[in-house]
Chain A
Amino acid sequence: MSPRRIAHTAAEGGIDLIAIADHNTTAMVDVMAEAAAEVGLGYLYGIEMQTREEVHLLAFFDTAADCHGLGSAIDRLLPERPNRPEYFGDQVIVDLDEEIVDREPRLLINSLDLSFDDAVALVREHRGLPVPAHVDRAPYGLVAQLGFPPEGLAFELVEVTGGSLPGGFAPAAGVCFSDAHRPEEIGRRTTVFAIEEISTSELALAARRIGGRSVRCREQERRET
């Protein structure tokens, strides 16, 4: 998907804040930040990691530096198996004008050689907010892969496809993200955050409903009305 198309589609859909979370790479986060800025969209730097247990873990960062720090740390943990574009698509890295500037030769859908628990710790080390992705979905959701949340790991936010949080994640707050892989999927699931500014620490405060902040899936809101 082209960065400008993502930004325009999101802005037209009435979305205020986006993040892209490419699989196991941070290569596109800066171009996406520029595209978001062009249309006045709020933006957080993101990634979706696939851990050794085949669990998907989202991570969000306030700065490009922190996001790339995490990106560099996991780069050597991606297996050297080459991509097969005819099966998995071309893994191009483009600029704002959609000119191809590079290609990731390694298969990005692979699992990193990193445990889920270590991935969470690594995100925190880089001042990021770890958010287990689509925990209620199989495969690649935490519940399908690991049965239940690992003991001793606490999350502020947990992403759910179905809108309600499975048991064991409390006191985390559930959030709904589009997980858009195609332009028409942008905004198909969204979350309403009441926060004072766009930052990962504000999202964490909203999860704990501190100072009038709040978070809820928009789908739930629709169901209730």
Chain B
Amino acid sequence: MQLSEVIERLSLDVFAVAGEVDVAVTGGISSDLLSYVLSAAKPGDLWITIQHHENVVAVAQVAGLAAVVLADGRQPSDGTRERASAAGVALLGSSETMFEVGARLHGLLAGDR
């Protein structure tokens, strides 16, 4: 499923977008441990986290993730937002918990197959 459709279907806030929003979302990962995401994420994953340290942007970039969703209403700092814009990493937000966002994403991707 394309990222633009995921954003629409999950009603995600957009804090920063990559130049090209319509990358394919092929899976998902939920974790607040950046070392775990670095080792376990697959390119194309949508990363759901409440971690909003600036390093999140670099990890998303290195791991080739489709986008990052800051769950539970977490707001990125200006620094994190600017870094995401500069790096071309889509930084999104949801007022729902990680559990809820993950469940809904899983439903979307399962229905897409």
Chain A residues proximal to chain B, CB less than 8 Å: 53-54, 115-117, 138-139, 143-148, 150-151
Contact = CB atoms under 8 A, between A and B. Distances in A.
B35 A143 contact: yes
Interface residues of B, number: 13
B10 interface: no
A139 B58 CA distance: 20
A144 B38 CA distance: 10
Given A115-B77, A138-B35, A147 B58 contact: yes
Contacts of A147: 34-35, 37-38, 55, 58-59
A150 B59 CA distance: 11
Contacts of B33: 138-139, 144-145
A53 B53 contact: yes
Nearest to B38: A147
Nearest to A139: B33
Interface of B: 32-35, 37-38, 51, 53-55, 58-59, 77
B34 A145 contact: yes
Contacts of B53: 53, 115-117, 146, 150
Given A144-B33, A147-B34, A147-B59, A53 B51 contact: yes
Nearest to B79: A117
A96 B87 CA distance: 54
Nearest to A141: B35
Interface of A is mostly: loop
28 contacts: A53-B32, A53-B51, A53-B53, A115-B53, A116-B53, A117-B54, A138-B35, A139-B33, A144-B33, A144-B35, A145-B33, A145-B34, A145-B35, A146-B34, A146-B35, A146-B53, A146-B55, A147-B35, A147-B37, A147-B38, A147-B55, A147-B58, A148-B55, A148-B58, A150-B53, A150-B54, A150-B55, A151-B58
A144 B53 CA distance: 13
Contacts of A138: 33, 35
A53 B38 CA distance: 16
Contacts of A143: 35
Contacts of A145: 32-35
Nearest to A53: B53
Nearest to B63: A147
Contacts of B38: 147
A107 B1 CA distance: 44
Contacts of B34: 145-147
Among the interface residues B37, B54, B55, which one has the most CB atoms of the partner chain A within 10 A? Answer: B55
Given A54-B32, A139-B33, 12 more contacts: A116-B53, A117-B54, A138-B33, A144-B33, A144-B35, A147-B37, A147-B55, A147-B59, A148-B55, A148-B58, A150-B55, A151-B58
A150 B53 CA distance: 9
A138 B34 CA distance: 12
A144 B55 CA distance: 12
B59 to A, nearest CB: 5
A151 B58 CA distance: 10
- Nearest 9 CB-CB pairs, A to B? A147-B34, A146-B55, A144-B35, A146-B34, A53-B53, A147-B59, A147-B35, A147-B38, A147-B55
